[in-house]
Structure 1
Amino acid sequence: MKVIRTISEIRTEMRNAQSNHNNKVGLVPTMGYLHEGHASLMREARKQTDVVVVSIFVNPIQFGPGEDYETYPRNEAHDLALAEAEGVDIVFMPSVSEMYPTPTKTKISVSDITTLLCGASRPGHFDGVTTVVSKLFHIVKPDYAFFGMKDAQQVAVIEQMVRDLNMDVKIVPCPIIREADGLALSSRNVYLSPEERQQALVLSASLRAAQSAVLQGQLTTATEIRALLQEQITSSPLAEIDYVELLHFPELTPLEAAHRIVEGDSLIMALAVKFGRTRLIDNALLQLQKVGDSHV
């Protein structure tokens, strides 16, 4: 496994890799502090591509004032060991000065779908995400890029950017990876105290309860689904809700409060909740199709 820290070197390496036109390059963009969720992306990239590149870069321009950029967890030795164990070919680990040698005056901004969910509570966040991902796509020139669905809004935003700008890369969304008790894997889970971590299980539990109630016909409107989610989450004393939303997916357009769930709906239940100083996100899809006489 090669560890590369400069743009000029990674470009040379990618030109060599892509000189064989049969080679497909897969990119897994990360901010490091890697865990099983990231590893699952690497394994999917290994299945689908010939050259797997993992980028590790804590991107300062996607953090807002007062957010955790300085304290975001970092562990280079652990990250490199995990990537090597997963058969990664190249790890690209640029410094901030390498990626942003001067203050950036150019940013990529996706409208509409960035104004809700995390975009509403973290203004400017997605401009930072799309800008750095665009830079990585231009530097590495991957054929495929792999992103986890834990941040479903991020996936939708990046897919929109790729479509709008005719970028020659296929985005591959990959399933959320959870702990055995249901907590979605996140680098920020390390911030949780034991009590906060236990109470954070209410996120996945509330999503499962809502999914089950919808599929059994017990909940039929957007209002009812939101109410159940909020009721379950607020039963956890340490939970501080940022948002509980039900949206069309992948369009990320809001549902009317009285919208009745019908066959053919493709919806996402999206949550952002703070436990102490740690803000966690989670989501689940509701895709209602008729199979025989049952709904799935």
Structure 2
Amino acid sequence: MKASNSAPQDLIIVGNGMVGHHLVEQLVERDVHRHYRIRVFGEERHLAYDRVHLSEYFSGRDADDLALSTTDYYAEHGIELHLHEAVTDIDRDARELVTPQGRYAYDRLVLATGSYPFVPPIPGGDRDGCLVYRTLDDLDAIREAARSATTGVVVGGGLLGLEAANALRGLDLDTAVVEFAPRLMPMQVDNEGGELLREKIEALGVQVLTDRATQHIEDGDTSRHRMVFQDDKLLETDLIVFSAGIRPRDELARNAGLEMGERGGVVIDDRCLTSDPAILAVGEVALWRGSIFGLVAPVTRWPRPPPTP
């Protein structure tokens, strides 16, 4: 919808991930960029990229191959792109965004901050060589650690965990998956499906350990780490990758005093509006009717700009 003032209003999108970039594409398709001055902030140094195919980064594809767009696309549509510039605060009273580089005024603000990998609070889980699988920088760290490793373990047997295990196999590591539940992908498959999936994964040369709760991680005898499980069984490995689920990146919204879900996530209505009518939220940070779905579509209808205070 066209802004009500003759001068363009300021629209800021926080997050240049897959959802944030998809939103930009939808706004361009609907000519919203002609009526708003749009700025996009991404804390990573890379343009938005395809996280679904991250493991292909280890098989020859680079950041440019995985990129969903180019800097030229943003420039051609008059969109100001701020990469490697993390947003640290939202001043709702002044309607300004704060980064280490300065303050930026907004009339509309969209939070597309996504999620972060959950690392279980395991003693020793912060040791060197204990990593996460989420960003290209994470993959660079995994590849570097793998140079001096022969074995690797993924903690988490969900879809992303299995993707991470495939990545470790691609780095020529003897790989195991450790899952707390009695089967792989426990939220998606039943027991029978879990057994079939286990057979498929083991056929790829990946060891599968289910019903395993890691109690702590310590120095190993023959490898860098020793994982100690609840039944006192042990597993030694050189590299550990946590892929035990995600949590919404909602700290900006929380610190700004927006309404939050009991377990996290920014509460939104059917138009993706938060408790502040000048701020919207989309993607994995947005909580709609008690659940997080990764929504982006409703915001592209673009509600009427709020009155200037």
TM-score, normalised relative to structure 1: 0.31
Query: If you compute each CA radius of gyration, which structure gives the higher value, 1 or 2?
Result: 2
Q: Whose strand proportion is higher, 1 or 2?
A: 2
More contact order relative to length (CA 8 Å, sep ≥ 6): 2
Q: Whose helix proportion is higher, 1 or 2?
A: 1
